[in-house]
């Protein structure tokens, strides 16, 4: 994700707390390299977790990153829909709307 696409709050945190944010980025890289899941699958897993937490920013971020890693919009929507019996329709519906912000699909 380019710096132009980063949320204002994220860039503010980077400016205010550069060491902390560098550590957060390194942690993200390390955990993705720790096992056999590829980049696309890793972001789909993180997308699902963000949806379960009702984190709009996390859903936006991991949907963008999943697309950049080669996921198709249908795969991203499916990753969210799969959660219905676990996190409930209202939460899934909200997450689907946040994904559509990223994909442009309504």
Q: Which pLDDT does position 69 carry in this prediction? A: 97
DSSP H helices in 1-106: 8-16, 18-33, 39-52, 56-68, 73-81, 84-87, 89-103
Report residue 95: phi and psi, to 5°: -65, -40
Query: Tens digits of per-residue pLDDT, 6-44?
Result: 778 888 999 999 999 999 999 999 998 999 999 999 999
* pTM greater than the 0.75 cutoff: yes
Domain boundaries, the chain: 1-35, 38-106
Query: Tens digits of per-residue pLDDT, 57-103?
Result: 999 999 999 999 999 999 999 999 999 999 999 999 999 999 999 99
Matching CATH number, 38-106, of 3.40.50.300, 1.25.40.20, 3.40.50.720, 1.20.1290.10: 1.20.1290.10
Comparing CA positions, the residue from 22, 20, 28 lying closest to residue 65 is: 28
């Amino acid at each position: 994700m380019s710096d132009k696409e980063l949320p204002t709050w994220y860039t503010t945190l980077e400016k205010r707390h550069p060491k902390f944010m560098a550590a957060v980025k390194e942690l993200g890289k390390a955990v993705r390299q720790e096992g056999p899941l590829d980049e696309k699958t890793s972001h789909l897993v993180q997308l699902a977790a963000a949806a379960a937490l009702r984190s709009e920013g996390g859903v936006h971020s991991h949907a963008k990153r999943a697309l950049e890693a080669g996921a198709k919009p249908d795969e991203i929507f499916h990753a969210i829909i799969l959660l219905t019996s676990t996190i409930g329709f209202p939460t899934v519906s909200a997450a689907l709307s946040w994904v559509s912000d990223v994909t442009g699909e309504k």
